[in-house]
Amino acid sequence: MDKVIIAQNLSLSYKEFETIISRATFSIDAGSFVFITGASGSGKSTLLKSFYGAIEPKQGQLSVGGVNMNRISTSKLNFLRRHIGIVFQDYKLIKEWTIEKNVMLPLIISGYTSDVSGSQVQKLLGHVKLIHQAGKYPLELSGGEQQRVAMARALAHNPILILADEPTGNLDEYSSSVIWSLLEGANSQLKTTVVVVTHHIPEGLNVPYIHYHIDAGNINEIA
Amino acid sequence: MKSLKNHISLIIALFTVLASVQIYVAVDRTIAAYETRLKDDYSVIVVANKAFTAEEFKSMSSMIERSEPISTMQVLDRLKGEMSQKNLDLLRLTLPKFYRIYLNRYPSPKEINSLQHLLQRNPSVERVEGFAQTHDTIYKLMLLFKNVVQVFSVAIAAVTSLLILKEMRLWQFQHAERMSIMALFGAPVWLRSAVLFRLAIVDAIIATIILCLAFFVIDYYGFLIAQLKAIGISVQLFNFVNDALRSLGIALGISVALTFMIVIFPNEED
């Protein structure tokens, strides 16, 4: 099976003498659903950041989608990010843009025509039950609705990999269920690899998943 | 409101640069028109002991446009009552020939000197009067005025460019969140910074329109043109096609180039 993420002796740190992830070796298969858990400050969000190039490996090797993340060039990183969908705990929506345009962002970046991106956005807003809010601005929506918009944005360009950082951390039950069902759908129907960083793995998931736990900088697979 | 304030800051800065450039252009045009007027009025007087044709003078220097003899009849007429006709005829024959030489452009003091030397090299030319001193003073005053305006324009352009750069850094800071979100989804630098370029282009167009309106008002009320006409200068201070296009080009050039600068060399604090 193809590997989407390969880490070999990967160490991550923000400061010179403070290692957050230490010599981790693991791989994530294409089409798999992966949870990364750990205590607060254990480095799970840092690890996720390294997958989309927000932090460079301090030591070891990291490959995402076949792209070597060590000293990656800006153009290569942009290319990789155009094939990744990211969901953040704080949503990261552009507040000056409408919901519709926010969802369209990855399609604009990838250069899709307005016809294609328009119909794709309508479809996704329908999936996240926000079609009637398309013309509104992010700050006019609740937190749960904003995260559903962020989820629709992450799926807009049919990415090969979805990275989600605490996607349901502050959400109500309904919004959480919409988010999980979308992630499940992307994984089971589109075979998109999904990596979720979370404190708690939700119960009743309908897809098989792999669970990594971070403890004291080490990454262990939980059987 | 804050955004409007930022727009106004950039528009005023761009307008100042454009106005200083246009003032320099207008001064240059005014001086050129004044030079033409001076050229038409200016002539070199040549005293020769033989008759010269216009062609002979022209062959001496490419600066010489035309020449005309100065009649001595007026002087001789005044002596008519005091001298006999025979002596007057004798005097007419012995009097040197006077010529007024017109040039094809307004000469610099150096050019006048070299023309004087050139003419005096001819053995038949006895004296050349270039009225260098009067001419020199006017010319130096004109050059001084032109240089002062030029230095003033360059200084204004430099200072306002720095202000524009500061303003754009502020814009970059205001739009940093949007740009960083776009970067997370792989937007190239030009797409991330499109908002800055759009703002820069819009403000450049607005600044140019305000400049055109300002010069339209000056042109419409005509007080400056009337003052220039009073000293015999007829000049167009602002050409609503060429000058407007040049101003738009300058405004777009400055704003887009400075946007490029802040995009390519982002502030280390960002």
For chain B, the first-to-last Cα distance in angstroms comes to 24
| Residues of A in Cβ contact (< 8 Å) with B188 | 75, 78
Partner-chain residue, chosen from A79, A95, A97, that has the shortest CB–CB distance to B186: A79
Within an 8 Å CB–CB cutoff, is residue A82 touching chain B?
yes
| ipTM of this predicted structure | 0.90
Nearest to A180 by CA among A191, A172, A168, A198: A168
Rg value, chain A, Cα: 17
Angstroms from A223 CA to nearest CA on chain B: 33
* Residue A133: DSSP 8-state: G
Within an 8 Å CB–CB cutoff, is residue A140 touching chain B?
no
Residue range B26-34: mean pLDDT, rounded = 85
* Dihedrals phi, psi of A110, to nearest 5 degrees: -80, -5
Nearest to A108 by CA among A94, A118, A95: A118
| Residues of B in Cβ contact (< 8 Å) with A83 | 186
| B75: helix, strand or coil | helix
Spatial distance between the Cα atoms of B178 and B181, rounded to a whole number of angstroms: 5
Angstroms from A222 CA to nearest CA on chain B: 30
8 Å CB contact of B185 and A77: no
Tell me the C-alpha to C-alpha distance, in Å, between residue B241 and each of A186, B129, B223, B267: 58, 44, 22, 38
Query: Which tokens is B148 given?
Result: 């002062």
Query: Which tokens is B142 given?
Result: 């004109």
Angstroms from A92 CA to nearest CA on chain B: 6
Within an 8 Å CB–CB cutoff, is residue A90 touching chain B?
no
Q: Nearest chain A Cα to B179, which residue?
A: A94
Within an 8 Å CB–CB cutoff, is residue A52 touching chain B?
yes
| Residues of B in Cβ contact (< 8 Å) with A86 | 184-185
Chain centroid, CA A3 distance in Å: 17
Partner-chain residue, chosen from B177, B178, B186, that has the shortest CB–CB distance to A78: B186
| Residues of A in Cβ contact (< 8 Å) with B191 | 108-109
Contacts of A10 (CB under 8 A, 6+ apart): A21, A23, A24, A25, A50, A57, A59, A60, A61, A62
What is the structure's pLDDT at B268? 53
pLDDT, tens digit, 9 for 90 and up, residues B214-240: 999 988 888 888 888 887 778 888 888
Whether residue B270 has pLDDT greater than 50: no
Spatial distance between the Cα atoms of A107 and A103, rounded to a whole number of angstroms: 8
pLDDT, tens digit, 9 for 90 and up, residues B77-92: 777 777 777 887 887 7
pLDDT, tens digit, 9 for 90 and up, residues B124-180: 888 888 776 666 676 677 778 888 988 988 999 889 888 888 888 888 888 889 999
Nearest to A158 by CA among A138, A185, A186, A133: A186
Mutation to test the B interface, candidates A74, A91, A95, A109, most B Cβ within 10 Å: A109
Position B145, amino acid:
F
Sheet holding A59-64, edge to edge: A18-29, A3-15, A59-64, A67-68
Residue range A48-69: mean pLDDT, rounded = 93
Q: Which of A138-142, B26-30, B102-106, B223-227 has the highest mean pLDDT?
A: A138-142
Chain centroid, CA B241 distance in Å: 18
Query: Which tokens is A131 given?
Result: 């079609």
